Chains A and B, each alone.
Chain A
């Protein structure tokens, strides 16, 4: 079966971001960009399914600027078979991405689409669920384990109180949580091989989608700073302060 892995190019998770002085957004100039870490887990899971003989072809898809091609190359170097880049110059909202991915899913006919549970830039946590709804498919979000068997996917999910396991008809959507797997590094030979793998370029209009944002961002600001307090010397002093000064115990 075909597996689709949508991936997003985001500010690298190690970068300390800066809010622009004019409050129009976050400064992305000369900032290191990488594949969204949750998406990387999605690519890894697809590759493992292929290694087990469950998946036959892995298609990495990104909706974003021309540079997102590099992110697709990373997925190809890890082990995806081919790529699709849907070019959009500006930021795209999750619903727009979901509509484009729904168009690709209809054209490609995957049995499984594995997405990151959220992108670490806008922290929306929406695209996978929206895509599932648009396609009328079942979803297993925040997955820590995925098993494909007998035309169904059994997905163990990380929920607030512990774990929940659900069984989904295929085709289905899975979104990844941190503990699903540890993504591999691409080897040098695979990086070289990835350069020859094909990447199709598309535009949102190919799928009949208008990419214009629908939410208006009024401003992006620094979060309120929390001030450090005092150092205490002993445990006794700590308990005394918590009791009599802060009044929280």
Chain B
């Protein structure tokens, strides 16, 4: 089965999500070509060429791909799709944006956010915010799939695929990029961080998030939040971990002042180790936490920072 994997990147670096989606792509049975569509993105293509399992990297380097506009991305992928049996992309906001257009153009259903490849045409995906798992089989035709990357391991970088430059497709010209307002942070990206420290409504204010930031700095962690904290205006929406926000699966997830609503659990329950700090010992978060600490967070979090500091973190 010939597979095309669309790389996730910011023109400068290849995102870890691509290496994880590659695991899903290779599970379909090879060969896997990787498409890097961007602007001045040769470095990204070189990084993609090192992904284990990549048989070829296609580099479409053109200004119209600088911001991954869905209309232009879809036009390019549809043009390339003829040669492939399956097209995959990480289920990032970028992949979610253009992949359904590709599916519609190819007149096939899309299989969204798969968490496992159960066979060449059979996949499992979460529904109802992860409260049920649906196993689906594709009848025929090309497969268009987005991958929930947290459930797949990143492939290694032992590959040495060739990079082939390809021309841009004619975009429809119906949309234009205006601006990005990206959250600036010295911390790792939420979706890729090894450790995540998240705060909920219990934080009481946005200012109090600096308590979490201090702990995060000790552990080189990203800072996240529950939807309740976002809705309360404590932090911006891109902090949100949950079904309607980001899905994360770090080595360590520390939930502070988070009760553990279903919608939040859906976004973090695949984390390797979960710590919950909450003063309400009945909070549902303790039902999924490996280590629970029933305590007032305003006392426990500064103590945690102090203890980490003492131990040389």
Contact = CB atoms under 8 A, between A and B. Distances in A.
Interface of A: 11, 16-17, 19, 26, 93-95, 98, 120-134, 136-142, 144, 154, 157-169, 172, 177-179, 214-223, 226, 228-236, 238-239, 241-243, 246, 248-249
Given A216-B136, A220-B135, 12 more contacts: A16-B131, A26-B127, A133-B105, A136-B174, A160-B191, A161-B189, A166-B177, A167-B177, A228-B288, A235-B304, A236-B307, A239-B308
B292 A162 contact: no
Contacts of A179: 230, 237
Contacts of B110: 94-95, 124, 126, 130
Contact of A160 (B133, B178, B246, B251): B246
B99 to A, nearest CB: 8
Interface residues of B, number: 92
B104 interface: yes
B290 A129 contact: no
A140 B70 CA distance: 9
Contacts of A165: 177-181
Contacts of A134: 104
A216 B290 CA distance: 37
Contact of A16 (B231, B262, B293): B262
A94 B93 CA distance: 18
Contact of B127 (A122, A127, A231, A248): A122
Given A95-B109, A235-B307, A241 B191 contact: no
B101 A26 contact: no
Contacts of A235: 293, 295, 300, 303-304, 307
A164 B180 contact: yes
B127 A121 contact: yes
Contacts of A120: 128-129, 243
A138 to B, nearest CB: 4
A111 B130 CA distance: 35
B100 A215 contact: no
A178 B237 contact: yes
Contact of B175 (A138, A160, A228): A138
Given A161-B238, A215-B111, A236-B307, A242 B100 contact: no
A158 B97 CA distance: 11
Given A166-B177, A226-B288, A229-B292, A141 B67 contact: no
From DSSP, what is the main secondary structure of chain A's interface residues?
A: mixed
18 contacts: A17-B132, A93-B109, A121-B127, A124-B110, A129-B70, A130-B104, A133-B102, A142-B93, A158-B237, A159-B238, A165-B179, A168-B175, A177-B237, A219-B134, A223-B126, A228-B287, A248-B195, A248-B273
A215 B101 contact: no
Interface string B94-133: 1011111111110111111100000000100111111111
Contact of B174 (A121, A137, A233): A137
B275 A238 contact: yes
B275 A242 contact: yes
B218 to A, nearest CB: 9
A163 B288 contact: no
B1 interface: no
